[in-house]
Amino acid sequence: MNIYADNAATTKMSKAAIEAMLPYMDEIYGNPSSLHSVGQRANEALADARMRIATLLNCEPREITFTSGGSEADNQALISAAKLGERVGKKHIISTAFEHHAVLHTLDKLGKMGFEITLLDVPENGLITPEEVEAAIRPDTCLVSVMYANNEIGTVQPITEIGAVCRAHGVLFHTDAVQAAGHLHIDIKAQNIDMLSLSAHKFHGPKGIGVLYSKKGILLSNVIEGGAQERGKRAGTENLPAIMGMAAALEEACHSIDEHAAHLIPLRNKLIDGLAQIPHSILNGDKDKRLPSNVHFCFEGIEGESLLLLLDDKGICASSGSACTSGSLDPSHVLLAIGRPHEIAHGSLRLSLSEDVTEEEVDYMIQAVTDVVTYLRNMSPVWRELTSGKSEFIIK
Amino acid sequence: MALYSEKVMDHFRNPRNVGVIENADGVGKVGNAKCGDIMEIYLKIDNDIITDAKFETFGCGSAIASSSMATEMIKGKPVSEAAQLTNKAVTEALDGLPPQKIHCSVLAEEAIKKALDDYYQKNGESK
């Protein structure tokens, strides 16, 4: 059996997205900035895609800036809001300890430029509260950035309420909606969002394309200088095939959000319940307020990379937050943020399901993970010490 | 290119010498769970010859493969020869490791040295 359960990393492109891209490679291949008819046809398509995406998000087309993806959108949103704050002497930014690195590393850079950064603590359930945000707001706060859904543990933040708190205090609110777009409903106006980032390849669109929404009146600072594309705020010839693919993918995804959730949630819960049967395992993140596709566990006494390699041998593609898979000596900052100790965070597993996952596949995953965890524990000196009572279990 | 060589994957998928030796003549444990790697090596030694070696490892694929390969390399060898085993030799025997995984082979070398130290100590000898 082959199961791709790493959809939070990237997704397979949909047929609709691929087909939407093709004409813009060899037929309508003009540069939207060109005056001739080939260019103008491309320009019309660009305007059409911008309008369709704006309609899906409930905003104005001119509030959409096409970027190379979620990371660029996050960078530009934060840098723009910081510069606007600086002009009026506001140099305090609030975010959370479990944001994506595109946000955290940009905040590090702003910190070095003299901004004061408050990273909110994340409780064990992985849910930030509007009260926590409100308590951190100061007279000199210029921006709050809280992700819509966490990329590792999948918890869904109360962004509408957080947005309302920000609005009441006159502070800009940015949300990294990379994991949410196409999977959870987005309504820019109703959700009090000033800036939002999304990335097409997380909802079956192409890689290398994304959107920065920024509310009318928010002056964007360029991250990429050059030509006058995107109202002069993002230089570079527009990646029209990718933009057309993204528009088609977002339409398809947004129209099926409820249907997909209705299919996924019972299967996700079955997978959670099945893996919870493994002794000394723990679910990361709130069980209900999480993405319909996300299952995230820690298993005591084993290490995540060997778990992934053996699951791959059984045809399951998954991901882990262990140090060996993070490319650094520390395990996932998200797991550390919700209070998992290093030893536990190394033994983590993320299964992010695709919308067409079947019950048979869920049953197979439960069995495969149970078998591999048991196998690895049987060769683990940590596990032997735990079971012989020489050391104490952290996960009861 | 795959992350690991075929040799590493073979020793990871089919690790040799997994287990514990009761009343071992030498035991060596290195690493810590916080960093994500622990290796424990057990030696059975007769007349200064390593007659059996076993290991238990908590860690990534290359940590398990390094333990497996290192125990294979010292089995049947005199302790003096086993004491000369280097992480480089383990890495070479595995047809290489990615740069960020070399420390796994270092752990294997250290675990064996520690097990031999334990053996020397139990026998009241110094190296």
B12 contacts in A (CB within 8 Å)?
306, 309
pLDDT value, residue B35: 78
**Domain membership flag for residue A395:** no
Contact criterion met (CB below 8 Å) for A346 and A331: yes
Q: Spell out which chain A residues touch chain B, with contact meaning CB-CB distance below 8 angstroms.
A: 301-306, 309-310, 313, 322-324, 327, 329, 331, 341-343, 346, 378-384
**pLDDT at res. B124:** 75
Chain A residues in contact with B18 (beta carbon < 8 A): 378-379
ipTM of the complex: 0.93
Structure tokens at B98: 């990615």
**A167 and A77 fall within a common domain:** yes
Q: Which domains does chain B have, with CATH numbers?
A: 6-122 (3.90.1010.10)
pLDDT at A327: 60
CB-defined contacts A:B, below 8 A: 65
Distance between CA atoms of residues A66 and A63, nearest Å: 10
Q: What does the pLDDT look like over A335-389, one tens digit per residue?
A: 999 999 999 999 999 999 999 999 999 999 999 999 999 999 999 999 999 999 9
Which of A230, A255, A280 is the C-terminal boundary of a domain? A255
Of the residues A215, A230, A255, which one is the last residue of a structural domain?
A255
Do A359 and A265 sit in the same domain of this protein?
yes
Beta-carbon count within 10 A of A89 CB? 9
Same domain? For A29 and A83 the reply is yes
State the Cα–Cα distance between residues A199 and A7, nearest whole angstrom: 13
Q: Please determine, for residue B109, whether its predicted confidence score (pLDDT) is greater than 90.
A: yes
Q: Which of A255, A287, A315 is the last residue of a domain?
A: A255
Residue A171 maps to a domain: yes
Pick the catalytic residue: B82, B104, B112, B116?
B104
Cα gap B42→B22, rounded to integer Å: 9
Q: Which chain B residues are Cβ-neighbours of A384 within 8 angstroms?
A: 20, 56
Q: Where does chain B have alpha helices with state H? A: 6-13, 61-74, 79-82, 87-93, 102-122
Beta carbons of B57 and A379 less than 8 Å apart: yes
Contacts of B39 in chain A (CB under 8 A): 381
What is d(CA A95, CA A86) in angstroms, rounded to the nearest whole number?
17
Q: Taking 80 as the threshold, does the pLDDT of residue B125 lie above it?
A: no
**The predicted structure's pLDDT at residue A331:** 87
In B, which residues are within 8 Å of A313 by CB distance? 13
For residue A33, what is the domain's CATH number? 3.40.640.10
CATH number of the domain that residue A344 is part of: 3.90.1150.10
**Cβ contact A153:A127 at 8 Å:** no
Which residue range(s) make up the domain with A334? 257-387
Q: Indicate if B60 belongs to the active site.
A: no
Q: pLDDT at position A115, please?
A: 98
Kindly state whether residue A217 falls inside one of the protein's structural domains.
Answer: yes
Q: Considering only CA atoms, which of A224, A264, A300 is closest in space to residue A65?
A: A224
Q: Distance between CA atoms of A199 and A190, rounded to whole angstroms?
A: 21
Pairing mode, if any, of strands B26-32 and A316-317? unpaired
Please indicate, yes or no, if residue A3 is contained in any of the structural domains. no
- Do A222 and A82 lie in one domain? The reply is yes
> Could you tell me which of B69, B123, B122 has the C-alpha nearest to residue B96?
B69
**Contact assignment for A343 to B34 by CB distance below 8 Å:** yes
The predicted pLDDT at position A328 comes to: 65
Query: What is the nearest CA distance from A201 to chain B, expressed in angstroms?
Result: 23
**Which residues in chain A have Cβ-Cβ distances shorter than 8 Å to B63?**
303, 306
User: Does one domain contain both A263 and A192?
Assistant: no
Tens-level pLDDT at each residue, chain A (396 residues):
999 999 999 999 999 999 999 999 999 999 999 999 999 999 999 999 999 999 999 999 999 999 999 999 999 999 999 999 999 999 999 999 999 999 999 999 999 999 999 999 999 999 999 999 999 999 999 999 999 999 999 999 999 999 999 999 999 999 999 999 999 999 999 999 999 999 999 999 999 999 999 999 999 999 999 999 999 999 999 999 999 999 999 999 999 999 999 999 999 999 999 999 999 999 999 999 999 999 999 999 999 999 999 999 999 999 998 776 656 667 899 999 999 999 999 999 999 999 999 999 999 999 999 999 999 999 999 999 999 999 999 998
The count of structural domains within chain A is 2
What's the pLDDT at B2?
79
Residues A229 and A150 in one domain: yes
Q: Smallest Cβ distance to B60: which of A306, A343, A379?
A: A306
Contact B59 A303 (CB under 8 A): yes
Q: How far is A346 from chain B (nearest CA, A)?
A: 6
What's residue A322's pLDDT? 77
Asked whether residue A64 falls in the same domain as residue A196, the answer is yes
Residues A69 and A201 in one domain: yes
Catalytic residues of A: 324
For B65, nearest residue in chain A (alpha carbons) = A306
Question: A381 and B63 in contact by Cβ < 8 A?
Answer: no
**What residue of B is the nearest CA neighbor of A314?**
B13
In a domain, A392, yes or no: no
- Residue B1's pLDDT band, with cuts at 50, 70 and 90, is low
* pLDDT tens-place string over residues A290-317: 999 999 999 999 999 999 999 999 999 9
A303/B13 CB distance under 8 A: no
Residues A247 and A328 in one domain: no
A382/B58 touch (CB, cutoff 8 Å), yes or no? yes
* Domain match, A241 and A276 both: no
**Mean pLDDT (whole number) for B54-64:** 96
Vertex A377, ends A374 and A382: CA angle to 5°? 160
Does the distance separating the beta carbons of A329 and B35 come in below 8 Å?
yes
Q: Which of A309, A343, A383 sits opposite B61 (nearest CB)?
A: A309
Kindly report, residue by residue over A257-296, the tens digit of the pLDDT: 999 999 999 999 999 999 999 999 999 999 999 999 999 9
